[in-house]
Amino acid sequence: MSLKSLKSKKTHKKSLEIVAAGQISTFAVVNTDYNIDEVWWDNLNSEYHIVITGVDYDFHNYITVVTPNGGDLMASVDSAGGHLVVRLSDGSTHVKGTFSFITYKVR
C-alpha cells in the first residue's frame, strides 16, 4: 500500500468506554473492582468467571486486557453464559493466580 493510498483512507475515530476493571485474588476474592457483580473459580474447567454488572459478555464484542500479577503466568480471555472467563496458565496447565483486568467497549 502506498503512502498516498494510506493518506486518502478515511479514518473513523471511535472511543473506548471502560466497562469493568478489577484485581482478583487467587481465591476469586475481588480486591479492587469497578462494575463487577460476582467472581468465582470453576474447579472443573480451571478458570475464573466474572459477572460484569449489566453486561451480557461475549469476548467478540469487547476488548479485555488481563495481567497476571507475579510469576511467569500467561492469561487468556473467553466468554461463557454471558460471563467473562479468564484462564491463567503456567505454559503447560491452567492454574490459579492473582490477576488484574480491564474491559472496554468500543463506541
pLDDT at 107 over 90: no
At residue 6, the pLDDT reads: 55
**What one-letter code names the amino acid at 92?**
S
Question: Domain limits of the chain?
Answer: 14-106
At residue 8, the pLDDT reads: 57
pLDDT at 7 over 90: no
Residue that wins the pLDDT comparison between 58 and 10: 58
pLDDT at 2 over 80: no
Q: How far apart are the first and last CA of the chain?
A: 28
Residue that wins the pLDDT comparison between 56 and 9: 56
- How far from 29 is each of 6, 67, 81, 86, 98, CA to CA, in Å? 47, 16, 21, 14, 9
Is the pTM higher than 0.95? The answer reads no
